[in-house]
Each structure stands twice: as C-alpha cells, then as structure tokens.
Amino acid sequence: MDPRAAAHVLTQIATLLELHGQPPLRVRGFQAAARTVATLPETELRAAVASGSGDVLEGVSPEALDVVRDLVQTNSALLLETLQEETPEGLLEMLRVPGLGPARIRLIHDGLHIETLQELEAAVVDGRLAALPRFGDKTAERIGLGIASLRDAGAFVLHEHGAAEAERLRALIAAHADVLDVAVAGSVRRRCDVVRDVDLVASVRGSPSVVAAALSHSEGVREVIGGGGRTVTLRFANGTRLDLACVRPEQFALALWRATGSDAHVRQVTEYASSRGFTLTGDELRDPQGALCPVSTEADLYRELGLAPIVPELREGTDELTAAASGTLPTLITEPDLRGALHCHSQYSDGGSTVAEMAAAALARGWRYLGVSDHSQSNTYAGGLSRDAILRQHDEIDALNASFAEQGVDFRVLKGIEADILPCGRVDYDKAVLDSFDFVIASVHTRYGMNERQMTDRVLKALDDPHLTVLGHPTGRLLLTREPFAIDMGEVIARAGEVGVAVELNADPHRLDIDWRLCRIARHHGTMVSIGPDAHSPQGLDHITLGIGTARKGWLSASNVLNTRSADAVLAFARARREGRRPVEVLAEFDAVSAHGAVPPVRAVG
C-alpha cells in the first residue's frame, strides 16, 4: 500500500465522517493520521504496522491505525466501504463541487432532503437554498458558481442529469420563432452513461448562420465560442456547454446523424459510402453519378447505402456497420417488454416505503410482479434482515398477494433477498433460510480492495451456490465517485451463463452496472441479464428507463433479459438449479409454450 494512497483513504474517511455528522474529534483524528502517513516511505509504513511501533505512527488514533493496518494487509478499508455504502450516491457527487464541503452538504441534505446535484442546482435557482438557516443569498450564489465551475472544467455528469439539461435547452431553443424543429444529439442521444456537454441540432427558416447568431443571445448565455457560421458553441451561466448546429430543413436528418456521432461511427459510415461510390460530405449525400440523394430521415441515409438503419444507441464504431450490412442487427429491447423487476428495497432494510407502496407503484407501471430484495443480515449498516424480520416480511407478502388474488388483480410480490457475498465467497444465510426465498440476488458490498484473482474467485464461488438467481451490480462501480473493483468479468459472465445465473444490469443512475460493453459479453455467452431498478422508493422504479437505454446500447433483445418473462417463468428459472435442472432450458420451455398462448406447468419445490 503506497503511503500517499493510504493517506487519501484516511482523508476520504474523515470527509465522510464529517458528512455523517460524527464528532469533530473523530474527524480530526483521521485528518491527522492522513498527514502523518503521507510523509512515510512505504517500507517504513509496513514495518511500523507490523511492529506496532508508536514512534513512527505517533499521533495516529487507534481507530485510524486499524484502518492503516487493514490497508497494508488487505489493500482495502472496511470503514471506508461501509461509509460509502451508507452515503446516498448523490451526496458523494456533491463533494466534487468546488467550495462545497461535507458540513454544508449535510445541512443541505437534512434541511431540504436533497440527494442529487440536479436537485441542489434547482434549490439554488428557486431560492430554497438561500432560505436555509446559516446559508443566505451569498452562500447560495457561491454554491451555484461552484456547480458552474465544475461544468466549466469539462467535468462529466450522470446521463440522467445531462439528459435533463439537454431537454431544458432543447425547449429554450425550440421557443425561438425561426426554429422549426430541434433535436438532442451527441452522447445524450447515444445513451452514454456519463456525458460532458449537450449537442442540439435545429432546423430553421431563413439563413442558418443568422438564426445561430440570434440564438447566441438566448437567456442565460454567458459566453459564445466560435460563431459567425451555422454552428456555435454556447457556454451558459450554469456552466453547461451547448454545441448547437442550425441547418435548413432539408439538411436536418444528416446534420442530426453527424452530430449524434460517435466520431468513429461517422468516419466508418463515410468510408463505407465512399467504397460504394457515394460522397458523404457536410450534410449532403451524393450518389455515384454525383446526383444529390434526398435524405429526410436518418434511416434514409442507411438505406441509400444498402444498410439496415442503425439506432443511435449502437453508433459507437464497434461492429454495428458489419451487422447492418449483413442484416444481423438485433431487435432491441423496449421498456414495454418488461413484465416486472426483481431488485427493490422496502422499509424492512434501507428503503423508504412499505412493501405495499412499492407494489402499488409497480402495478401502476403496468408490471405484473415486483421482487422485494432487502439486504441480508451481514449488511448491518443497511439494516439487513434477521431471521425474524424475514418471517414477518414473508407473512406480509403472503397477505398482500392474497389481497391481490381476492380483488382479481393480476399482480404478485415475489419474496427475494439481496444477500451479501462474503469475503470467503459464501452467500449470506444458511441453506434453510435461502430455501425460503423465491429468488436470491447476491452482491459484493465489502472488501473491494481484493486483487483481481481473489475477487474473481470470490464471485465464482458464490455462483456455485444453487440458490443464487441474480448476481447484483457485478463490478461495484459508482459512476464518477468509485471505480469498479478488480474482477475478471469475462470469466464471471461466462461462468454465470454456464450455471444459469443472470447478471444484473443495475439501473440506478449512479451504477448502470453492468455497463453496455459487458451487456455485449453477456449476449455473446448467452448469459441472462436482469434489469433491476435497485429502487429504494416508488420513484426509484423510474430508474428502469435508464436500464433499458443501457441494455439497448449493449445490443440486448427482450429474449436476453430475464424480467421480460412472466412471474411463473422467473420463479421457475430461480428454482431450476435447486431441482438439478438447467435454468436456461426451463426458460426455453416457457418461451416455446407462451408463443402458443399457454402456460407450462409449475413444478413444486423439493
């Protein structure tokens, strides 16, 4: 463990302790330990930890010394991991704002119940932040400038925040009298998990360069970069950068295609067009005879070149062109394909709503089932369920399902758990308890510092447990705040496919884990994917939309996703390994029979 890295961990712990309102003495203890550790050579640090030398680590508190020892021996810090898991991801994101420290973030969270950077910015604009005790107009203004500074620095933001800002700017541009149509392009349209700026294309009447110049004076514009032509870059007061292209109506489709990108995709299509004798320059496509080809939609461009249309999510310059040329592009999943979801939390652990409230929200979405998967007993910081709590929850679910049946409502709550994968690879709880669940999600929540071989073996061992249905958020990443832990996901995904475990696409906007690249690997191995909202409130079920976008970007069809199936099919998939059957074959039976409108028999457990 490099001493500077150890000092960084100690500083992170101090920051999170302050964010959680811990006593100042405890916070200062970690800050002092960080300063001491940072000055030591690595050999001296290791020797001091091994010998327990008080001279070298003088002034380091016993608690901080335990963390240093943990880091040296295991390359991880359980206290840091626990604090990160206890902290709403949006608060971790706020720590990136210049001038906004943990103490103020805590006051904001407690006073306004704000948990995202987007909500914080809205509170600056509408005056709620200034109205908080100990804040005022000047403090709120400084925080607003800090958010703008973060954007000015070209910092990435989560897709959902970028998409919301893109829609706000789209509406602003669309309100101009000379704008006929305007569309979001760029990384937002391609459903990238994080985005840096906003791209818009506007179809205008009159001269595009004149309209672009007029739009440069839109409300909130702080700086104009470039200009003088039909394309302009605008920097807004909140730090957002907008790349805006104004074009004539007949140029709109090609301009939108080009602005959507990616650069690699645009280059490949241009080269492909050239190989077939076409010329694709600017916003014009000309055939081998030099005649202008009318392109009224992006699909027209691909068809003119003899390609199947390629949707924006797939335009990353991988092998989409080859698939479009050979007619092998997949039919991508859509949100209506989902029939339910398996990952949500209730008040039994760290959720904010009752099981009944979560079920009602899922039913309102048109789903036919919802899996409740609260945390397991080892996850003490998230209120993991004791055996007695499991029994109470199962009784409540039985009563709720009986009520749905009595009312003739086609909906079920499924009994699940998000069980910790312990450092040894065992899935939390013994066989008797695991047997009581309809399905089991297993996730790593601790000891992220294992090396790649150790973490991979840990997860592979968990996959061998026949109770395991879904591997939850498999890389442990938190976008913009925590890197994925070291793990060979190719090996894990392949093994999951072999044994019949689905890998989760966790749709929480801070996770999107697995990402779209790993979705493609899952598709290659025939490994099922479960799109889970990881919802802790009814509103959290909306995360599923982001998950669908990532699944589409990862080339997934409805057949690749577990929760496009009925509740009976999901239950049969979960039961299959316990009965010595292959889960994928069980799904195939359901798929074959459901194609004829029937339902296969449901086998009893045992």
The structural domains of the chain, with segments of one domain joined by +, span: 1-86, 157-252, 261-326, 337-594
Please report where in the chains the tokens 């919301």 appear, as a residue. Answer: 164
Quick one: three-class SS letters along 181-246? EEEECHHHHCCCCEECCEEEEEEECCCHHHHHHHHCCCCCEEEEEECCCCEEEEEECCCCEEEEEE
Q: Which of 66-70, 419-423, 587-591 has the highest mean pLDDT?
A: 419-423
Residue 600 pLDDT exceeds 80:
no
The whole-number average pLDDT for the span 393-406 is: 98
* C-alpha distance from residue 408 to each of 357, 372, 401, 594, 602 (Å): 18, 21, 11, 22, 20
Structure tokens belonging to residue 308:
């199947």
What pLDDT is recorded for position 503?
98
Distance separating alpha carbons of residues 567 and 67, to the nearest angstrom: 45
**pLDDT for 295-342, tens place per residue?**
999 999 999 999 999 999 999 999 999 999 999 999 999 999 999 999
Choose among 242, 97, 99: nearest CA to 155. 97
Residue 525 pLDDT exceeds 80:
yes
Percentage of the chain beyond pLDDT 90 is 73
The whole-number average pLDDT for the span 395-409 is: 97
CATH number assigned to the domain with residue range 157-252, chosen from the 4 options 3.40.50.740, 3.30.70.520, 3.30.460.10, 3.90.930.12: 3.30.460.10
The band of 383, judged by pLDDT with boundaries at 50, 70 and 90, is confident
Distance separating alpha carbons of residues 94 and 393, to the nearest angstrom: 35
The whole-number average pLDDT for the span 497-513 is: 97
Please report the DSSP string for 524-573 in residue order. Answer: HHT--EEEE--BSSGGGGGGHHHHHHHHHHTT--GGGBGGGS-HHHHHHH
**What superfamily in CATH does domain 1-86 come from?**
DNA polymerase beta, N-terminal domain-like (1.10.150.110)
Q: Which of 19-33, 89-103, 217-231, 456-470 has the highest mean pLDDT?
A: 456-470
The whole-number average pLDDT for the span 494-503 is: 97
Choose among 76, 32, 123, 188: nearest CA to 454. 76
The whole-number average pLDDT for the span 268-274 is: 97
* Topology agreement, domain 157-252 and domain 261-326: no
502, 469 contact by CB (below 8 A): yes
Rounded mean pLDDT of the chain? 92
Structure tokens belonging to residue 264:
């690699």
Using omega within 30 degrees of 0 as the cis cutoff, is the peptide bond preceding 262 cis? Answer: yes
What pLDDT is recorded for position 605?
35
**What superfamily in CATH does domain 261-326 come from?**
DNA polymerase, thumb domain (3.30.210.10)
337-594 CATH fold: TIM Barrel (3.20.20)
Distance separating alpha carbons of residues 520 and 515, to the nearest angstrom: 9
What pLDDT is recorded for position 50?
77
Question: Residue 427 carries which DSSP code?
Answer: B
Residue 146 pLDDT exceeds 80:
yes
